[in-house]
Structures are given as C-alpha cells and as structure tokens.
Amino acid sequence: MVILSILVSSAFYAFAAQQSATVPQPPSGIFGRVVNIETDEAVRRAVVKVYTSRDQWDEFTDSDGRFRFPALAPGEYTLIVHRDGYTDRAYKVERSDFDLQKELRIQLHPQGVITGKVVDGLGQALQAAQIQALATRTRGGRNPVLTSADTNDLGEYRLSGLDPGTYRLRAMYRDGRASELDPTPVRMATSYFGGSERAAELTVKAGSVTTGIDFVLNPVRPVTVRGTLHTETGVLAEPATLWIMGLAGEGGHNGTGKDGTFEISDVGPGTYTISAETLNRSAPLFGIATVEVHGADVEVIDIVLRPIPKIDCELRVERGGSVDLKQGSIYFTRTERVTALSMQIGHPDNNGRFTVALIPGEYSLSFDEWSSKLGVQSVTLDDKPITNWKLQIDGSLEAKKLVIVLESKPRP
C-alpha cells in the first residue's frame, strides 16, 4: 500500500506540472497593429521604434501589420512608426498600456504625390530641373524646402512623400559650366507655380495624386550686378557683406563690398533685394535696395547704409528665487529675410542684461530650453506690451528698451 501511494503521488505531481506548463502565461510588453487610416489595410514592413532617453528597440510589422515588444518593462516610452509613402506617426506609451495588454492601433496617413512636366519656351523638355515643395508658412523669413525631385530626360517629375497639407511649388533650372574648365555658358531660370508675384498654393490630401502641375521656364545667361556703397556722409570706407534674394528664390548667395563698390555675379532675370551690412559689431551699418534684372548687366545700384538700431534688453525675475540668467538665450528671428542670417541671439549677463542690433522690420521672439524652468509674465518694448511674441523695430536710433519679466516655476 505504501508503494502504491508513492506511485499515485508521483503521477499526480507529474500531471500537475504538465498542466502548469500548458497554461498560457500572462502577456507582457506591448503589442499593436499598424494600418492605413484611409483603407484600414495592414501596413507591412513598417519600422516601429520604441525608445527612452537611454535605450532604443526596433521591430518591423509582419504581413498583418502587427508588431510586438515582449521584453519591455512597464513604463513610459515614445513609439515612432515609419513607412515610406506614409506620414510618420508618434505615440506616447503609458504604463497603463502594459496593464491593459490591449492591442495598440496605430493609423498612418498615406502621403500624396504631385506630378508634372518642365519645358522651355519652345516646348522642349528640360532635364535635371529641380522641383521643390515649400511650406506656406515662413521660418526665419523664408519658406523652407520640405522635399524635392528632379525631372527626367522627358522633363517629367514625380514629387512624392508629401504629407497632407498646403504647399507652394518652385522650379529651378541651371545648366552649363560644371567646372572651372568647362567653357559651356551658364543658363538659369526660376519660377513659382502660379507666378512669382503670387505663387499658387496646392492642397495635398492623404493618398492623393495631383497631375498636370507644369512649368514653362526660359533659361538665359546670368548677368552681373554692380553698384556703390554710401553712408549719409560719403563713400563707405569699410568692408561689407552683401546678400541677394529674388521673389522666386533666385539668388540666395553672398557678395562682398570693398572701397565703396560691389559686384555680384550669376544673377538671372527677376526682381531682387540686395542688402549690405558692415562687419563692425560695435557700430554696424545696414542698407537695402531693389533691382530688376532683365538679361543685361546692371551697373547703377547705389546702396545707402545707415546705423542699425540697438536694443537694450533686460530680464527680470520677480518671484521664485534665484535663477542663473546667464545660462539662457533669447532668439530674434526676422519675418522677412534680407540677410544671409535671419536670426540674432541675445546672451544675458549675470544681471540679465544684453544688447542686440536689429535691422528694422518684424521679429519673432523665442527662448531656448532654459525657459522651461521659467514662466514669461510679460514683454514690453519702451513700456508698450508685446503681443503674439512679435517685435516691430523701426529705423529710429533713439534708445529702445526691451524688458522681459520672468517668474521661476516651482519644482515638482
């Protein structure tokens, strides 16, 4: 009886162990599915990246659009999904996603496509013309290029990878003189779709294909623009840097002025602004002129340079204890770009004071990450409140005072 009892007990524990091994363990980590938001179809071979400030994990979606990170410990993560032809999607993983063990549903917007053709005035295809999709909102006085494509031998282009939104399209063409030893004459042309004076805005929807966005360019030889530099009292005796920029994005390159004269080459037809600025940081001078170029050298441009207004700035912390103001930076970004550098940066001293020279015009005011420790209570220029973080600087040389009142945020 004792032997039988031992055998029964052994059989029971063996059966229990087998049953325990076959019971599914509770799932861990996170898992989900990536789908096309327009069709609800699976997005295969999408890259799914999960990361923290220290670590990163990567997976691909399978044939059903699914992914899994079983080894992740519960916590907070950032999840990014990327697939060519779709807009990237970010998702904030919370601790609750681990507790619920629910499939994360990540929806991707398919990107749009614009196609067209570029020809010259005779209808001949232009190969290697570059088509640029520009943002409609300016950054630092210019519309940033978001993506671009070149035309093929038939003058055709396909501009893909466009997130849903509104764009302006610009065509730029240049051929000839690939090197200093190449004698082929340079020809160039630039144009916005819809015209340089009032560029058309094209709306791209998710997954859309917009066709027939064609350009007609008339490449011509570039010319040289020459002129003189003056102050209000006579010829400019010190060196100056120059910047030329056209309405359709032509130019965008530097020149130099010396002994009161300047010369800028490789300028195609169009309407341009030419700015000149001296290199003297203690007493800088600035001037600007407009020029029309129609295929012949321009010799009569005269730019008068005047002192750049200086702004005395002060940071004040009214509540919240001591703050190291010297660690921060304040950015002044000009709405309309007229120089190669459209941003000026203010660096406060230990007392929160600094001086910045700003060319007349409108500026956006912003701070770096240092401001996350502070709250901005008010901003005034000559005791007048500043709204929408916009500063309007006139050409007056009278002393200007910018005061930024801060409040130190309490620590959590």
Full DSSP string of 284-346: -EEEEEEEEESSS-EEEEEEE-EEPPEEEEEEEEEESS---GGG--EEEEESS--SS--EEEE
pLDDT at 398: 87
Tens digits of per-residue pLDDT, 325-379? 777 789 999 888 788 778 899 989 988 899 999 999 999 998 876 665 677 888 9
pLDDT at 108: 96
Is 70 exceeded by the pLDDT of residue 67?
yes
Number of CB atoms found within 10 A of residue 187's CB: 18
pLDDT at 136: 87
> What does the alpha-carbon distance between residue 147 and residue 128 come to, in Å, rounded to a whole number?
15
DSSP 8-state secondary structure symbol assigned to residue 371: G
Residue 16: enclosing H or E segment and its boundaries? helix 2-22
pLDDT band for 23, please (50, 70, 90 cuts). Answer: very low
Looking at every residue in the chain, the average pLDDT score rounds to: 87
| Strand 223-231 relative to strand 390-393, pairing | unpaired
Average pLDDT over residues 200-228: 94
∠ CA 267-272-274, rounded to 5°: 90
Average pLDDT over residues 270-286: 90
- Spatial contact of 105 and 202, defined as CB atoms under 8 Å apart: no
* Domain 310-408 belongs in CATH node 2.60.40.10: no
- 3-class secondary-structure state, position 236: coil
pLDDT at 30: 96
Pick 280 or 196 by higher pLDDT: 280
pLDDT at 372: 59
Report helix, strand and coil shares of the chain as percent, to nearest 5.
10, 50, 40
CATH domain 223-307 topology: Immunoglobulin-like (2.60.40)
Number of CB atoms found within 10 A of residue 393's CB: 20
| Strand 270-278 relative to strand 66-69, pairing | unpaired
Average pLDDT over residues 381-387: 92
Q: What is the 3-state secondary structure (H, E, C) of 340-358?
A: CCCEEEECCCCCCEEEEEC
Domains 112-216 and 223-307 share a fold: yes
> What does the alpha-carbon distance between residue 7 and residue 4 come to, in Å, rounded to a whole number?
5
**Sequence letter at residue 7:** L
Q: Which two tokens stand for residue 18?
A: 């087998």
Number of CB atoms found within 10 A of residue 106's CB: 22
CATH says 30-108 is which class?
mainly beta
> What does the alpha-carbon distance between residue 359 and residue 251 come to, in Å, rounded to a whole number?
21
pLDDT band for 55, please (50, 70, 90 cuts). Answer: very high
Residue 356: which residues within 8 A CB-CB, separation 6 or more? 310, 311, 313, 332, 344, 345, 346
Share of the chain above pLDDT 70, in %: 88
> What does the alpha-carbon distance between residue 118 and residue 213 come to, in Å, rounded to a whole number?
9
Is 50 exceeded by the pLDDT of residue 276?
yes
CATH domain 112-216 topology: Immunoglobulin-like (2.60.40)
Q: Which residue in 120, 235, 133 sits closest to 193, CA to CA?
A: 133
> What does the alpha-carbon distance between residue 228 and residue 263 come to, in Å, rounded to a whole number?
9
Q: Where are the domains of the chain?
A: 30-108, 112-216, 223-307, 310-408
Q: How many CA atoms lie within 13 A of 93 on its CB side?
A: 27
Q: Which two tokens stand for residue 278?
A: 């001296």
Q: Could you tell me the pTM of the whole model?
A: 0.70
Tens digits of per-residue pLDDT, 102-152? 999 999 999 999 999 999 999 999 999 999 999 987 665 567 889 999 999
Cα-to-chain-centroid distance, residue 386: 25
- Spatial contact of 128 and 151, defined as CB atoms under 8 Å apart: yes
Distances from the Cα of 301 to the Cα of 145, 221, 232, 248, 304, angstroms: 30, 20, 16, 21, 10
